[in-house]
Amino acid sequence: MSKTSDRPVIGIAASLIQHSGNQMAAHSVGQRYVESLEAFSNCLPVVIPARADHYDFKELLSHFDGIVLTGGRANVEPHHYGGPPFPEDEPIDPARDNLVLSLIRACVDHKMPVFGSCRGLQEMNVALGGTLHYRLHTLEGKNDHRMPRYEGVTREEIFALRHTIQLTPGGLFQGLVGRDQFDVNTLHGQGIDRLADEFEIEAVTVEDEVIEGIRLKNDETFTVGVQWHAEWYPEKEEHLLSRRLYEEFGKAAREYQQRK
């Protein structure tokens, strides 16, 4: 492991979580994102609080060599992409939305590496002009991609490999693993509807053709989003694609650090 001062610094966008009956708020990032960045990207993770109104994004990005966009319980609010309003009981996180949508656009302008998982992929698509389906499982021909909800479900069952994705021939993903298909986990209700023009597809589900992987067209660094939770079990061989993506992100962050 390199010295801390030598490792690329990665900003992880926080969610604003309400606790204790909405009496206490916390800027929160899941521990697995931190651990996977340290272990497989050899980077130094730093949490970015969801306080977009307090940032000059050019100045903010000067402190980082890459950005990670995590999953989250709340969905991107539909007014950001012209969708119909959510039901009143839908979890939302406007502070996170305001942070990441500006952050993503700034990263693309600065050619800074970005790696998004689950909600992160959806944010990337919305930030560059794409749209989302509110609930994939309500659409004809689409499967239920949400996490198992039965009583007593274990963490291993939640993050188990549950469907197969088809990797785009000649794409980044296929090149990283030398395979045409891979199995991944699935824990999302929303999904990409119209893909932003600036992205190209890296993977779709075999059964119902839901977009599972995207990459910036003519990408000069690593601007990649995946619909699954890549932070879970990249140390296992059956999760090789996730591990390779973390490694490639770390490589891109080091190259950005050197250029900077």
Per-residue pLDDT of 210-243, as tens digits, reads: 999 999 999 999 999 999 999 999 999 999 999 9
Which token pair is 253? 């962050």
Average pLDDT, the chain: 95
Q: How does residue 260 score in pLDDT terms, banded at 50, 70 and 90?
A: confident
Pairing of β 132-133 and β 191-192: antiparallel
Quote the CATH superfamily of domain 4-132+192-203+210-259: Class I glutamine amidotransferase (GATase) domain (3.40.50.880)
pLDDT, tens digit, for every residue of 118-145?
999 999 999 999 999 999 999 999 999 9
43 included as an active-site residue: no
Phi, psi of 259, deg, nearest 5: -65, -40
Q: How does residue 21 score in pLDDT terms, banded at 50, 70 and 90?
A: low
- Catalytic site residue from 43, 77, 118, 145: 118
107 included as an active-site residue: no
Pairing of β 15-19 and β 24-28: antiparallel
- Catalytic site residue from 77, 229, 239, 248: 229
- Which amino acid makes up residue 179? R
- Tell whether the model's pLDDT for residue 23 goes beyond 90: no
Report the C-alpha gap between 17 and 34 in whole angstroms: 18
Which token pair is 77? 């609010």
- The DSSP bridge partners found for residue 94 are none
pLDDT of residue 24: 82
- Catalytic site residue from 107, 231, 239, 248: 231
Report the C-alpha gap between 260 and 256 in whole angstroms: 6
- Tell whether the model's pLDDT for residue 1 goes beyond 50: no
Q: Domain-by-domain residue ranges, the chain?
A: 4-132+192-203+210-259
Q: How does residue 18 score in pLDDT terms, banded at 50, 70 and 90?
A: confident
Q: How does residue 4 score in pLDDT terms, banded at 50, 70 and 90?
A: low
- Which amino acid makes up residue 186? T
- Tell whether the model's pLDDT for residue 86 goes beyond 60: yes
pTM, to two decimals: 0.96
Report the C-alpha gap between 244 and 250 in whole angstroms: 10
229 included as an active-site residue: yes
